Amino acid sequence: MKQINMEDLVQRVIDELSKKGQGVIHFPEQKQCGVKNPNNPEALEQAMKRTPARIGIGRAGTRMKTGSYLQFRIDQAAARDAVMKTISPELIESLQLPVLHSRATSMEEYLMNLDSGRMLSDESARWLEQHGDKNKDVQIVISDGLSTSACEATIPDLLPALIQGLSMRNVSVGKPVFINKGRVWIQDQVASIVNCKVVISLIGERPGLATAESLSAYMIYKPDANTVESDRTVISNIHKGGTLPIEAGAYLAELLEEILMYQASGVKLSQLRAING
């Protein structure tokens, strides 16, 4: 049996509603209250502004209204596609990013075998050894991770802002690389190959129904065999509804300068900040 894309299925339902004279259903960017005559409309409006959760959507009998249900299915389809689709070749070309690969040969392997995304393929490791920029202050790694959509939505604005911010601070930067199907820990191998002081991974977060376009930045100072998760500094929720990509680029440049100054990241960085006021 041919598998139907969830987004296509939702579109079919919308088309059927249009044929029946119910008109085209539009889904606005801003959430709209679906509750008729709420007891406290001001409180409900404030609550809806404070959370991406699906509150105040109303109901038809014991079920969601058609518009709310279709929006749920569309968001679900977007989350699934964010994980499964491949990065746009046009984006890679426009940013002139070398493309490397992890040891995961398929998305199924990437999802089921975590270690496969934590190491470069032998061919990619050799390429980086031969062509990577060595002995720089910062090496930038970009990876689709669990959301290709996050990379496509944020990297075009974030990456130039980050590079410009580092340049203004006289921080040397190795040529950024894109790693297909990479996980966070792959940055440790990259750092060991190019011998950088700090490596930063810009990686797609696991998509949710609130957004499928959220990116995280993981930074670590000189990772080695004894590195643990608490050694990493993490900034998450980089997307149009969270920290804007351009703002994130500027902030990350400032944070990387601080990591270089203290020669530490993660919990150690927090401790040094506290000691130095």
Please report, in range form, the residues annotated as the binding site.
184, 205
Dist CA 145 CA 133 (whole Å): 23
DSSP class of 20: T
CA–CA separation, 277 and 272 (whole Å): 9
- Which residues make beta-bridge pairs with 180? 101
d(CA 84, CA 81): 5
Of 230, 224, 228, 150, nearest to 188 (Cα)?
224
Answer whether 199's CB lies under 8 Å from 220's CB.
yes
- In whole angstroms, what is the distance from residue 135 CA to residue 176 CA? 14
To 5 degrees, how large is the angle CA 147–CA 136–CA 249?
40
- Give me 113's structure tokens: 């075998």
Let me know: does 245 contact 151? Beta carbons within 8 Å: no
Place of tokens 């062509």: 131
Rounded-to-integer distance, Cα 99 and Cα 127, Å: 10
Can you spell out the DSSP letters for 52-64?
Answer: -S--S---BTTB-
Among candidate residues 195, 104, 108, 92, the one with its CA nearest the CA of residue 148:
92
Q: Which residues are annotated as a binding site for adenosylcob(III)alamin?
A: 184, 205
